[in-house]
Structure formats: structure tokens, C-alpha cells
Amino acid sequence: GAVVSQHPSWVICKSGTSVKIECRSLDFQATTMFWYRQFPKQSLMLMATSNEGSKATYEQGVEKDKFLINHASLTLSTLTVTSAHPEDSSFYICSARRRGAYNEQFFGPGTRLTVL
Amino acid sequence: QKEVEQNSGPLSVPEGAIASLNCTYSDRGSQSFFWYRQYSGKSPELIMSIYSNGDKEDGRFTAQLNKASQYVSLLIRDSQPSDSATYLCAALRDNQGGKLIFGQGTELSVKP
């Protein structure tokens, strides 16, 4: 149990376009989902925390108008990178936490974004 | 000072040896700690969690926590080439919605 999927697993887009990444909890209800970004040879950096039905909380330095997060249901959160630029190229990873399991985060397989 | 610090490595050990990975943290309020393994191009996978002072063993892995010294470690016994990966230490921020704060990771290479 506790499987988290992401779609797509990789995406290549042109500069200026928008890209949507989906994060789904397949066998549990995720009350909280987290979005991370990882650049090559660097660690995971938390971008934002989203709770089902409420606005996401963004970390300092993350542009909320550029990285739109929607957590509309207990099994789905989406991250939309708007007007993507080459510097947004990165590995985006989501994780999900279920109600009552505060210490456990289940990670998705990640989405590799390349902006040309 | 980073909140969670690890030596970036690379740490190289021969097959069959014990690999020792270390991590220090600065927030005394953190109570829960995690070790993740990440292969190149993949997402992190949880290896161990530890919440109390002392040792916790799971197969070839032993996590150690010393809250007084703000120190967490991971020992891998009988290291295998398949253990070659980056190991990430993470601390849970209980007072901030349960965010995980990751160290920069230690790259481990196990030589056959």
C-alpha cells in the first residue's frame, strides 16, 4: 500500500509554455501533499505544502504565481509550471501524507522537466 | 549553518565492509529523523526512521540518534555494490506542518 504516482514521468517543452504535473495517491487519501524540486547533484528542496481543499503554502523564494498548486481532492494534487524557462528544468517530486500518519511521507517517482 | 548537514562524500567502501553515514541537525525541536536512499535519476526511498535516542536496527541497517549531540547516523553492514547511491538524512519539523528538511546527501560507492 501507500503508492504515489506522478504523471508525466518526463516532459520536454519549449520556453514560455506551461506544464502540468500530476501527483496521485493510489491507495490512500492524502490530506497533505508536498512538492519538491531537485537540481543535479543537489538535495531535495521543498517548494510548497498543499492541504486538500485549501491554498498551498509556499516556501520562501518560490514564486506562487509561477508554480501553481491545486489540491482539489484527497487523491490528486497538480503542479503547473507557468511560462517555463530553461532555469526551471529540474526533477520535480511530490510526496503525500495520509490522515493520522504525521511522520510518514510517501514519495512519487518524480517528473523530469526539461525546458528548451 | 544548514539545518541538516551531511558530508557530501563520496564515501567509498569495499564490498562487505561497514559504511558509516553521519548527519547533524541544528533544530532541537526536531524529534523525528529519516534516512532515504536515492539512486541516480530516481525518487528517494525510505530506509529507516528513528524517533528515540539510541539504536534502531533493520536488517543490515542500523540508525543511531543522539539528541543531546544533535547527531544521527546510519550504519550499513556487509555493504553491497547495490547499496551504491546517495543517502539523504531528513529531519521532521513538527512545528511547521510536518515538513521534511533534507541534508545535501552523502554519495556512497561500494567497490566490488
Q: Do B99 and A93 touch (CB under 8 A)?
A: no
Judging contacts by C-beta atoms under 8 Å, the chain A residues touching residue B56 are none
Backbone angles phi, psi at B92, to 5 degrees: -95, 130
pLDDT score of A103: 82
Judging contacts by C-beta atoms under 8 Å, the chain A residues touching residue B33 are none
**Distance separating alpha carbons of residues A69 and A51, to the nearest angstrom:** 10
Question: Is any Cβ of chain B less than 8 angstroms from the Cβ of A9?
Answer: no
Q: Which of A65, A18, A17, A72 is nearest to A50 (CA)?
A: A72
CB A56 within 8 A of CB A78: no
Taking CA–CA distances from B44, the nearest residue in chain A reads A107
Q: What is the per-residue pLDDT across B10-28, written as a single tens digit (0 to 9) for each?
A: 999 999 999 999 999 998 8
A42 Cα to chain B: minimum distance (Å): 6
Categorize the per-residue pLDDT at A20 as very low, low, confident or very high, splitting at 50, 70 and 90. Answer: very high
| Higher pLDDT pick, B29 / A38 | A38
pLDDT at B1 over 80: no
B87 Cα to chain A: minimum distance (Å): 10
pLDDT score of B42: 95
Q: What is the per-residue pLDDT across B27-51, written as a single tens digit (0 to 9) for each?
A: 888 889 999 999 999 999 999 999 9
B18 Cα to chain A: minimum distance (Å): 24
| Chain B interface, best mutation among A33, A44, A46, by max B CB count within 10 A | A44
pLDDT score of A2: 84
pLDDT at A106 over 80: yes
Average the pLDDT over B5-13 and give the result.
Answer: 91
**Distance separating alpha carbons of residues A12 and B79, to the nearest angstrom:** 37
pLDDT at A41 over 90: no
